[in-house]
Amino acid sequence: MRTLFVPLILVATAMFAYAPYMIDQAAYESSMGLVSKIFYFHAPSGMVMLLSAVVCGVASALYLWRRNPMADHVAIAAAELTVLYGLIVLVTGPLWARKAWGIWWDWEARLTMSFVGWLIAVSYLFVRKYGGPGSDKLGAALAVFGTANVPFIYLSVNLWRTLHPKTSVVPTLPPLIRGPFWFSALALFLMYLLLLTARVHLERQRAALDALYLTDED
Amino acid sequence: MFVKTALLVLKKDFAIEVRSREILYTTLLFALSCVLVFSIAFVKEGEPLLDAAAGILWIAVEFAGTLALGKTFERERYAETLRALLLAPAPRAAIYAGKMLGIVLLLSVAEVLLVPLVALLFHAPLLAHPALLVALLAAGTIGFAIVGTLFAAMLVRVRSRDVMLPILLYPMTVPVMIAGVRGTSALLQSPADVASAGMWIGLLASLDVVFLTIALWTFEPLMTE
């Protein structure tokens, strides 16, 4: 990943520069007009958010039971990115909803679920920041529980209410929308990969620095 | 060994509580205050809003439960007795189980008081299906206590634990609350929607099993310094 880092940054930059043009060229969705373009940011960010949450959960489980410090670095980096991509989802979603449903927010299954998931990720960061010593294990347990909770949140809110377009929308997209959509998804995923690598690297440097301080004091 | 240790921890907590009754009284009083505050929000022109009773009951249980969890572990921290407990040559998971049972017991007492009170004050036929209501409350309370006890235990060493507990606990117990509130309000309909209440009980029961497994599994590595 280290040797690929710089070339990948260049690729990602080029993709982000080209994406607005591609989205502009994509077919208009008949009923939504310009607002339908939000979809190119919203849905891929949601996918990356979910992926990032899973990464955080798996890494936390590895840290909790295997004591692998690298897993902890990955977990905190993934949690921060879950919050970041979650924020994109939660900001672009209401903009779209205002036009599609006439309301900014609805306590509907997917919306509630994203909100709860985002809240759990934020509380993870909260624990890591203000928890003091031992907060790494505490956060790991929180992430493991949060991940185990996902199916239950999904099931309970789904039984409670449903209004959001189904996930089956994505495979059935018309070709003129499908191309730019997957392009945007790839660009956002690449950005995720780069940010994650950079953040893990930073966390590792910080741990190394802490270790150096400790040996110096002894 | 496991069951014996868990029951011993439960007995210890029970003995302390019987002497002072501090946590029981504060929890009950806090639950009552919750009901009062909610009555201001959910009663319009003397008539409670439809479905309000189910929500009020469960939120009162959740809030009072958070208070009780904080208090139980504050007591252990105060005298450094949690460390003594963890040093005991007993399976750690059993200590967790004992603590968890104590919280379930305490909240059950609170519910025995809360259910008739909410039924009375908000004109809700809560006692029309006692068996289903008991099953819902039991499954929900156990689910809440499983997550709550684990988080409260691991927050013992953390500085801002009293703020942190609700922040961690409320998003995590969202499925418990949805299932509890929806199940109860299904019972409050006329005629009662027994089928959906049964479905919510099933969801709660499966959640309890999964959460309990993870909690018993994580308690040991979490509590190891």
Q: Write out pLDDT tens, residues A79-131.
A: 999 999 999 999 988 888 887 788 888 777 778 888 988 999 999 999 888 88
Under the banding of pLDDT at 50, 70 and 90, the label for residue A172 is low
CA distance B29 to chain A (A): 29
User: Over chain B, what is the mean pLDDT?
Assistant: 89
pLDDT of residue A167: 56
pLDDT of residue B59: 93
B138 inside 8 A of chain A by CB:
no
- How long a stretch of residues is chain A? 218
B167 inside 8 A of chain A by CB:
yes
Classified as helix, coil or strand, A40 is helix
Determine whether the interchain pair B222/A145 forms a contact, defined as Cβ–Cβ distance below 8 Å: no
Q: How many beta-carbon pairs below 8 A join chains A and B?
A: 81
Q: Identify which of A64, A116, A132 has the shortest CB distance to residue B158.
A: A132
Q: State the total domains in chain B.
A: 1
A79 inside 8 A of chain B by CB:
no
Q: What is the DSSP letter of A33?
A: B
Determine whether the interchain pair A160/B178 forms a contact, defined as Cβ–Cβ distance below 8 Å: yes
pLDDT of residue A165: 57
CA distance B57 to chain A (A): 19
Report the distance separating Cα B174 and Cα B2, nearest Å: 30
Closest to A41 in 3D by CA, of A193, A185, A191, A196 = A185
Under the banding of pLDDT at 50, 70 and 90, the label for residue B206 is very high
Share of chain B above pLDDT 70, in %: 100
Mutate to test the interface with A, among B161, B170, B172, B217 (most CBs of A within 10 A): B172
Q: Which residues of B touch A153 (CB under 8 A)?
A: 174-175
Q: B152: nearest CA in chain A?
A: A138
pLDDT for B128 beyond 90: no
pLDDT for A20 beyond 90: no
Here the tokens at position A102 are 């006439």
A150 inside 8 A of chain B by CB:
no
Provide CB contacts within 8 A for B96, sequence distance 6+.
B149, B150, B153, B215, B216, B219
**Mean predicted confidence (pLDDT) in B124-150:** 92
Please say whether the beta carbons of B124 and B118 come within 8 A. Answer: yes
pLDDT of residue A184: 87
CA distance A109 to chain B (A): 11
Mutate to test the interface with A, among B83, B167, B218 (most CBs of A within 10 A): B218
Structural domain containing residue B95: 2-223
Under the banding of pLDDT at 50, 70 and 90, the label for residue A30 is low
Provide CB contacts within 8 A for B136, sequence distance 6+.
B180, B183, B184, B187, B197, B200, B201, B204
**Mean predicted confidence (pLDDT) in A33-38:** 75
Question: Distances from the Cα of A151 to the Cαs of A78, A108, A166, B130, B203, in angstroms?
Answer: 20, 16, 16, 29, 11
Determine whether the interchain pair B158/A131 forms a contact, defined as Cβ–Cβ distance below 8 Å: yes
| pLDDT digits 0-9 by tens, B68-101 | 999 888 888 887 888 888 888 888 899 999 999 9
pLDDT for A170 beyond 60: yes
Omega of the bond prior to B48 within 30 degrees of 0, cis? no
